[in-house]
């Protein structure tokens, strides 16, 4: 085995030496080039074989090979941008403000025109909504009535504690005539209560007088009953000694029985009067308690009505205030939809738009479902404005600011996701003039989602076919 390896090495060494020797004299082995005059005197076939070849095909082949190698290197090392193309439009960074009426109304006044600059809070359109004004007046009247009722019952409670006539204090927003009328009603209620209380007091005084009279009668009957009992006892002794007749004794006994019966009757009457006096006192207390309780209930009810009508006042006041459409921000008026005073507008009808002043423009792009998985905030984007061909006027650079997490339905594209692209500048140079973009321009945004080698575009189909071809079904 060792000898075989040694022989192979010697064999290889001899061939290497022979190749080196031949390579060293390779130029000497080439035939000497002939001059053109020498070639002219040679036979035709020798002239053809000895004439040197043209270098153009060789250099063309070398150039093609070099270009192929360069293209191969570029495809392996060079990369192209992967972009997601999304249609969209320019929008204001603060969003265009659309003004709409709350309810069907009649146009009362129009204070602006298309393109006019307005300040925040400036009145733009005045509407006339009869229902809103009537509801506002109704709520104001109901709130005033509830406030007067609350003041009336408050005055009645104060009069019940002090014993003086009820008086209503002046209330802001309520006319003196209404206050005086409510005070008269309070006085009527107070006098009615006082009349009932006085009737109870009169009955109580009558019962107390009857009680005093009956008490005196009881005292007198108690004294006369003792006398009648003593007389009966004396006559009984005389009858026992036969000094008087039995009829005389029976007369005294009858007188004593009558006195005792009258005394018992008057004592029962006295107890009845005690109960009646106590009942009258309780009835008077019940009248006072019921009057106070009723006043407190009515006061609570009136205050609850004030609260409810106060909410109605806020609602109706807001409705009435919304009949005056004011500018929410400073900007310019666009898309004015009404021009006739006295015309009718419907509920939620867009009347005009206010484009905010000095607001940066942004792009609202619609990302299709096939691209949404690759679009992220922070990615660079190239924006081409449809109004100005980018091949002549250039394009704008931007950055993806946000991407929605839920799709919206588009009539043509189906489900799409909205993305906001922040522009680095909002103007283009058009024929030497600086033209600022306006909201609503149609654009095409190319969002750079990544980079890919050129050779991958050729290898991907091959890899796909190989991957699919090496498996069954």
DSSP 301-331: HHHHHHHHHHHHHHHHHHHHHTTEEE-SSSE
State how far the Cα of 399 lies from the Cα of 125, in Å rounded to an integer.
Answer: 39
Confidence class for position 223, pLDDT limits 50, 70, 90 = confident
User: How much is the average pLDDT of 312-330?
Assistant: 79
pLDDT-based confidence at 67, cuts 50/70/90? very high
Percent of the chain with pLDDT over 90: 10
**pLDDT score for 47:** 58
Is pLDDT larger for residue 228 or for residue 432? 432
Query: Quick one: tokens of 251?
Result: 């007369």
> Would you place residue 46 in the very low, low, confident or very high pLDDT band (cuts 50, 70, 90)?
low
Identity of the highest mean pLDDT range in 16-30, 94-108, 168-182, 323-337: 323-337
Q: Which residues contact 31 (CB under 8 A, 6 or more apart)?
A: 50
Pick 35 or 472 by higher pLDDT: 35
pLDDT at residue 94, rounded to an integer: 63
What span, in angstroms and rounded, lies between the C-alpha atoms of 351 and 454? 54
Instruction: Lay out the sheet containing 97-99: strands in order across.
Output: 97-99, 352-356, 331-334, 117-118
Spacing of C-alpha 422 from chain mean position? 26
> Residue 195 pLDDT > 80, yes or no?
no
Confidence band for 365, pLDDT divided at 50, 70 and 90: very high
What is the predicted pLDDT for the residue at 6? Answer: 79
Give me the helices (H) in 103-240, please: 130-162, 176-240
Model confidence band, residue 86 (pLDDT cutoffs 50, 70, 90):
very high
Q: pLDDT averaged over the chain?
A: 79
Q: How confident is residue 367, by pLDDT bands cut at 50, 70 and 90? A: very high
> For residue 88, what pLDDT band results from cuts at 50, 70 and 90?
very high
Taking each helix axis from N to C end, the angle separating 454-469 and 55-77, rounded to the nearest 10 degrees, works out to: 80
Cα-Cα-Cα-Cα torsion 447, 449, 451, 457, nearest 10 degrees, comes to -90
pLDDT, residue 251, reads 73
282 Cβ contact partners less than 8 Å away, ≥ 6 residues apart: none
């Amino acid at each position: 085995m060792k000898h075989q390896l040694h022989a192979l090495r010697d064999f290889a060494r001899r061939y290497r030496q022979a190749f080196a020797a031949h390579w060293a004299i390779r130029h000497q082995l080439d035939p000497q080039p002939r001059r053109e005059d020498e070639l002219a005197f040679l036979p035709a076939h020798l002239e053809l074989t000895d004439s040197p070849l043209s270098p153009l095909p060789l250099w063309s082949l070398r150039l093609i090979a070099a270009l192929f190698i360069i293209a191969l290197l570029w495809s392996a090392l060079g990369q192209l941008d992967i972009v997601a193309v999304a249609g969209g439009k320019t929008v204001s960074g603060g969003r265009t403000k659309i003004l709409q009426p709350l309810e069907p109304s009649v146009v009362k006044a129009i204070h602006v025109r298309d393109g006019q600059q307005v300040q925040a809070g400036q009145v733009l359109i005045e509407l006339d909504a009869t229902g809103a004004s009537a509801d506002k007046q109704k709520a104001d009247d109901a709130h005033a009535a509830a406030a007067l009722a609350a003041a009336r019952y408050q005055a009645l409670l104060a009069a019940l504690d002090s014993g003086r006539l009820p008086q209503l204090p002046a209330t802001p927003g309520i006319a003196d005539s209404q206050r005086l009328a409510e005070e008269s009603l309070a006085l009527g209620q107070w006098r009615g209560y006082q009349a009932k209380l006085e009737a109870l007091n009169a009955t109580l005084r009558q019962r107390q007088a009857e009680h005093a009279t009956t008490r005196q009668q009881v005292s007198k009957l108690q004294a006369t009953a003792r006398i009648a009992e003593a007389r009966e006892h004396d006559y009984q002794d005389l009858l026992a000694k036969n000094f008087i007749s039995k009829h005389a004794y029976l007369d005294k006994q009858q007188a004593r029985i009558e006195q005792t019966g009258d005394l018992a009757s008057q004592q029962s009457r006295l107890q009845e009067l005690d109960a009646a006096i106590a009942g009258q006192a309780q009835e008077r207390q019940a009248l006072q308690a019921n009057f106070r309780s009723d006043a407190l209930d009515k006061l609570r009810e009136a205050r609850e009505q004030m609260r409810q009508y106060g909410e109605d006042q806020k609602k109706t006041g807001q409705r009435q205030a919304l009949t005056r459409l004011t500018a929410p921000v400073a900007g310019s008026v666009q898309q004015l939809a009404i021009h006739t005073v006295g015309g009718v507008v419907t509920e939620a009808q867009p009347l005009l738009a206010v484009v905010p002043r000095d607001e940066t423009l942004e792009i609202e792009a619609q990302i299709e479902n096939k691209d949404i998985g690759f679009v992220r905030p922070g990615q660079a984007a190239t924006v081409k404005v449809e109004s100005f061909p980018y091949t002549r006027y250039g394009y704008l650079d931007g950055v993806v600011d946000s991407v929605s997490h839920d799709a919206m339905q588009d009539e043509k594209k189906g489900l799409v996701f909205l993305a906001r692209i922040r522009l680095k500048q909002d103007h283009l140079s058009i024929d030497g003039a600086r033209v600022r973009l306006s909201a609503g321009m149609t654009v095409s945004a190319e969002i750079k989602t990544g980079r890919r080698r050129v050779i991958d575009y050729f290898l991907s189909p091959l890899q796909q076919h190989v991957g699919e071809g090496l498996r069954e079904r």
